[in-house]
Structure 1
Amino acid sequence: MTEIRTPRLLLRRWHEDDLGPMADINADPQVMRWIGDGSVRDPAETAEAVERWEEEWDDEGFGLFAVELLASGELAGFVGLSVPSFLPEVEHEVEIGWRLGRQFWGQGYASEGAQATLEFALQDRGLDRVISIHRKGNTASGNVMRKLGMELERETTHPVYGFPLLVHSIDLSQYSG
């Protein structure tokens, strides 16, 4: 079982009792405003998503980690790797992404988990390159990408919703660990 410990976080595979806290995160309009069309997700949609994330682990050897706070055992959200199949121009790449509950924002958890995940991608999984995508205007996610050493590669348009997206990238030669 793949787990990563950082100073404050445990990145791990999903447990059944993670569904409730993740459903609460996905039901928060502030959290979801930058995701897809901005719609919240209900508990059934969250359960389906977690099942897909676990299948990606089995199929790809990577996926989205559940983020647990070491100090309290609370589920803070997710961080991890996925294939961005929603965006055809980069659908053969691997993306690093995150989603945390609002009460966990502004404390460096996204950067801490994303840094550990980037190291996992480039050193443990042997990827040569990782991208990250955010909706233009989502400066918090853009800031995390810059902290990871990622550089803006291109601006594109979401193929379904039509809003601008920014694609950042980093490759193994740029990574300083």
Structure 2
Amino acid sequence: MTEIHTPRLILRRWHDDDLVPMAEINADPEVMRWIGDGSVRDLEQTAESIERWEEEWDDEGFGLFAVELMASGELAGFAGLSVPRFLPEVLPAVEIGWRLGRQYWGQGYASEAAHAALEFAVQDRGLDRVISISAVGNDASENVMRKLGMVLDRETTHPAYGHPLRVHTIDLTEFHA
């Protein structure tokens, strides 16, 4: 079982008791504002998402980690790798992404977790390139991308919802942990 420790976080596979706190994160309109069509997700939808994320681990050998605060054991959200099948024009590609509860914003947790996920991409998966996709206007996520050393690759449109997206990329052959 893959588990990564950073100075303040534990990135790990999903546990059954992660469902309720992740559903609370997904039920927050501010958290979901930039995700898909911006709709909040309920408990059942969150359970389906976690099941898909775990299946991706089994199918791809990587996935979205549950992000736990080391000091308290609280679930802060997720960060990790996925295949962005919703945007066929970028495939084949692996995307790095993150979603944290609002109470964890602005404390460097997203950058810390994403950096650890990039290290995993290089050291454990041998990836040489990763992308990240954000809705135009999601400045907080784009700031994390810049901190990771990602650069703008292209602007495009969400195929299902029609809003503008930005695709950032990083060449991991030059990534230094």
Bin for the TM-score computed over the shorter chain: over 0.9
Determine the structure 2 residue equivalent to 1:162. 162
Tell me what 1:65 maps to. 65
SS class of match (1:173): helix
Alignment partners' CA distance in 1, 2:19 and 2:49: 10
User: Secondary structure, in 3 states, of the residue corresponding to 1:160?
Assistant: coil
How many Å separate the matches in 2 of 1:75 and 1:175?
28
| Aligned-partner SS, 2:72 | coil
Name the structure 2 match of 1:76.
76
Deviations 1:106-133 (Å, cap 9, x if unpaired)?
A: 0000000000000110121101100000
Q: TM-score, normalised by structure 1?
A: 0.98
Identity of aligned residues (%): 79
**Which runs of 5 or more residues in structure 2 are unaligned?**
none
Gaps of 5+ in 1: none
Aligned partner of 1:151 in structure 2 is 151
Q: Following superposition, which runs of at least 4 residues in structure 1 exceed 6 angstroms of deviation?
A: none
Which whole-Å CA distance do the structure 2 matches of 1:99 and 1:142 have between them? 13
How many pairs does the alignment contain? Answer: 177
Equivalent residue runs for 1:77-156 within 5 Å: 77-156=77-156
Task: Please give the per-residue CA displacement for 1:6-63, whole angstroms capped at 9, x wherever unaligned.
Answer: 0000000000000000000000000000000000001000000000000000000000
Structure 2 residue identity aligned to 1:91: L
Aligned-pair Cα RMSD in Å: 0.7
Q: Which residue does 2:27 correspond to in 1?
A: 27
| Secondary structure of residue in 2 paired with 1:161 | coil
Partners of 1:23 and 1:176 in 2: CA distance: 34
Once the two structures are TM-superposed, the CA of residue 86 in structure 1 deviates from its matched residue by 0.3
**TM-score computed with the length of structure 2 as normaliser:** 0.98
